[in-house]
């Protein structure tokens, strides 16, 4: 039929003579393509079983040898092309790359990081989790009565009669007091959800709550840390007042106001001494231990810090607004 050794030598010479990848591809199609030499020879062998048995093995070996030769020569041509390109196009690998326009942290994320860093330096630990929680941890354990308005559908997003989107990060304070050993010194940053929407409220916003439980903790300790925090984020000459207030989960309770440039007082956060009932609910003896808690809205702090009047702009993904915080 044919001399396979002579055939492979002849085709190998043709392969070696090719100088481009296109020429090599044409040669591959000529011998191995659908209508190429070797597939056609295979068709001829179908006529008789004896010929197929005798020459089929030879043709398969020839096909394998040719594929090996073609692949080897292809690598040589590709390497040659790279060398030619490098000679024509010199690349200085020590040069700086093209600048890539990447995004930046959202102003809310940046503010949360700043708040966390402040309290981390004072020895607080960061606790997160449970945006979906049950009625006990979000309300009952915090001494919030069954008829409190915050439990209604007008204020809270309920899944069923027990599960809800947390209305405050205080739920994690309850879980932390139940699970952590005393003394406890934590902050709880995270998302909270309330059924409210206007220029100063959104259905989802971010809170950072703080909690410290230890022996001999009093309101003076709370007052010092609030004044230190606000002085760090605004300025030490900032005028602050503690105004008596009411929260179910603290006693004594206070709202903290700052004096704006227009001489108007603006509420900025709430705080107080942890209520004895809350300590009792988590198994802490209020005769031995006491503590304080505080909560602040991250968006509110950011609005004051950057002079922003509408909270909704934080969530509109307006690039003109976001690029200001690069």
pLDDT, tens only, 117-163: 999 999 999 999 889 999 999 999 999 988 888 888 888 999 998 99
Cβ 7 vs Cβ 62: under 8 Å: yes
What kind and span of H or E run contains 191? strand 184-193
pLDDT > 80? residue 9:
no
Reading phi first (left if > 0) and then psi (alpha if -120 to 50, else beta), residue 203 is in: alpha
- For the stretch 162-178, pLDDT in tens is 999 999 999 999 999 99
For the chain, the distance separating the N- and C-terminal CA atoms, rounded to the nearest angstrom, is: 77
Quick one: pLDDT band at residue 5, thresholds 50, 70, 90? low
The model's pLDDT over 211-229, given as tens digits with 9 standing for 90+, comes to 999 999 999 999 999 999 9
Question: pLDDT tens-digit profile of 223-273?
Answer: 999 999 988 877 767 788 999 999 999 998 999 998 877 888 888 899 999
CA dist 123 and 28 (Å) reads: 72
Around Cβ 209, how many Cβ atoms within 10 Å? 24
The Cα 159–Cα 5 span in angstroms is 80
Give 188's pLDDT tier (boundaries 50, 70, 90): very high
DSSP symbol at 98: P
**CA distance linking residue 141 with residue 266, whole number of Å:** 30
Fold of the CATH domain 107-325: BirA Bifunctional Protein; domain 2 (3.30.930)
Q: How far apart are CA 73 and CA 226, in angstroms?
A: 75
Distance CA 172, CA 189 (A): 10
Tell me the pTM. 0.65
Report the pLDDT value the prediction gives residue 254, as an integer from 0 to 100: 94
What does the pLDDT read at residue 46?
A: 64
């Amino acid at each position: 039929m044919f001399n396979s050794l002579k055939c492979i030598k002849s085709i190998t010479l043709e392969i070696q003579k090719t100088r481009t990848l296109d020429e090599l591809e044409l040669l591959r199609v000529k011998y191995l393509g659908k209508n190429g030499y070797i597939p056609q020879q295979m068709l001829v062998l179908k006529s008789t079983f004896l010929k197929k048995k005798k020459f089929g093995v030879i043709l398969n070996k020839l096909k394998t040898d040719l594929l090996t030769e073609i692949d080897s020569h292809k690598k040589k041509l590709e390497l040659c092309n790279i060398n030619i390109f490098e000679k024509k196009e010199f690349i200085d690998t020590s040069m700086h790359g093209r600048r890539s326009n990447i995004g930046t942290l959202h102003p809310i994320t940046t503010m949360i990081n700043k708040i966390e860093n402040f309290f981390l330096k004072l020895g607080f630990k960061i606790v997160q989790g449970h945006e979906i929680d049950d009625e006990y941890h979000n309300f009952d354990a915090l001494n919030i009565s069954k008829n409190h308005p915050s439990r209604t559908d007008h204020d809270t997003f309920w899944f069923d009669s027990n599960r809800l989107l947390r209305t405050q990060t205080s739920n994690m304070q309850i879980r932390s007091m139940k699970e952590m050993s005393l003394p406890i010194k934590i902050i709880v940053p995270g998302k909270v959800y309330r059924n409210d929407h206007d220029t100063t409220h959104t259905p989802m916003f971010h809170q950072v709550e703080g909690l410290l439980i230890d022996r001999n903790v009093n309101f003076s300790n709370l007052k010092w840390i609030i004044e230190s925090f606000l002085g760090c984020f605004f300025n030490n000459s900032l005028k602050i007042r503690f105004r008596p207030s009411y929260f179910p989960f603290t006693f004594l309770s206070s709202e903290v106001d700052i004096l704006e440039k227009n001489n108007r007082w603006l509420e900025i956060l709430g705080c107080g001494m942890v209520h004895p009932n809350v300590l009792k609910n988590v198994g802490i003896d209020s005769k031995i231990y006491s503590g304080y808690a505080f909560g602040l809205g991250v968006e509110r702090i950011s609005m004051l810090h950057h002079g922003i009047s509408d909270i909704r702009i934080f969530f509109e993904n307006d690039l003109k607004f976001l690029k200001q915080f690069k």
